[in-house]
Amino acid sequence: ASEEVPSTNIVTLTSHVLSEGLRLGAAATGDLTLLLTAISFTSKFIATNVRKARLINLVGLAGDTNVQGEEQKKLDVLANDIMINSLRASGKTAVLVSEELEDAIFIEDQFKGKYCVVFDPLDGSSNIDAGVNIGTIFGVYRVRNESTGTVEDVLRAGHEMVAAGYIMYGSSANLVLTTGQGVNGYTLDAALGEYILTHPNIQIPPRGKIYSFNEGNSMYFHPPVNAYLKSIKYPSPPKTPYSARYIGSMVADVHRTLLYGGIFGYPNDKKSKSGKLRLLYEAFPMAFLTEQAGGIATTGTGRILDIVPTSIHQRCSVFLGSRDDVLDLIKFYKEVP
């Protein structure tokens, strides 16, 4: 039967990004392709360590605290080192910003390229020891004309990013990427060591049936958020209530939202005045992907991608997902005092 014959018409990440680059014409020099290849290599290296974590004593705390005041896990530190080394060695980067490092890294002339990469090396740290899905999130800016690579090159609105994506380490490793021409998903074929295009042109359903919030924070949430949550849990008939799904790894919660639709939220609240998620390497990349997939990403009162950061570890309120669901939420922000 035909289903027993393996497909020989396989598109890999590299060939796909190359062919997209060709469509960009003169603007594409192949440098972005090489940078994305470096990021995909990094993710394979991290993925294999995630798989072996329990066996080679990689679970548990590293013993340090990062600039966010969070305890670092061994895998946070390892993933950060892998990213920094491989991005520097790629020769394509000028500025690197990592969740795990207080200051930006400026690449020395010998290795300097024209891209800046902001990243969360290991997202979902609290899930590591339980073997639940975790990920890596990244965003890419091109250094501004004439710039030698300064912090100003990354303190720019999210809509200036040229590429963004994440890798989710789950039952398989999935890389989801945008270069501003839609969103594509690739799955790591461990035997080939290649990311294969498995989810071309991801589109978020215009409305979903799932909400994804840490509702344990309800007592701190602002009134519009609680009013919105009430509206989807106690809808007036014939509408039926939404399902709750919350993994606590942004990568996994956003991945599900892109594929199934619905709304993901991590609002600012009375306790976390600026929210929890970090603008540069969590909110911006996920907002870019969401918009490119046809969804909306907002703070509740404004477009996330229009925020201009003033510091590299700045936080922001995040709601993203299906267009109609996020529009409903925005209505509550307009109407509920």
When CB distances are held under 5 to 8 angstroms depending on the partner's kind, the choice from ligand AHG, Mn ion, none that residue 256 binds is none
> Using CB under 6 A, which residues numbered 34 to 63 contact ligand AHG?
none
Contact string (CB under 5 A) for Mn ion, positions 89-118, x = contact: ----------x-------------------
Determine if 194 is a binding residue for ligand AHG (CB under 6 A).
no
> If binding is defined by CB under 5 A, does position 129 make contact with Mn ion?
no
Q: Counting contacts by CB under 5 A, is residue 31 touching Mn ion? A: no
For ligand AHG, the closer CB: 70 or 129 = 70
CB nearer Mn ion, residue 125 or residue 174: 125
Strands 183-189 and 173-178: antiparallel
C-alpha dist (Å) from residue 94 to 47, 203, 281? 25, 33, 16
Q: Report the alpha-carbon distance of residue 8 to residue 161 in Å, rounded.
A: 34
Per CB under 6 A, does 120 bind ligand AHG?
A: yes
Q: Does 19 bind ligand AHG (CB under 6 A)?
A: no
Q: Which of 214, 220, 244, 331 binds ligand AHG (CB under 6 A)?
A: 214
Coil vs helix vs strand at 217? helix
Q: Any contact of residue 126 with ligand AHG (CB under 6 A)?
A: yes
Which positions ≥6 away from 61 have C-beta within 8 Å?
Answer: 71, 72, 73, 74
Choosing from 248, 294, 303, 314, the residue that interacts with ligand AHG (CB under 6 A) is 248
CA distance readout (Å), 172 to 62, 151, 189, 198: 26, 35, 8, 12
- The answer to whether 99 contacts ligand AHG (rule: CB under 6 A) is yes
Which one of 20, 120, 153, 253 is in contact with Mn ion (CB under 5 A)? 120
The owner of tokens 């849990």 is 233
Q: What span, in angstroms and rounded, lies between the C-alpha atoms of 324 and 200?
A: 23
Are the CB atoms for 309 and 279 separated by under 8 Å?
Answer: yes
Q: Which positions touch ligand AHG (CB under 6 A)?
A: 70, 99, 120, 123-126, 214, 248-250, 266, 276
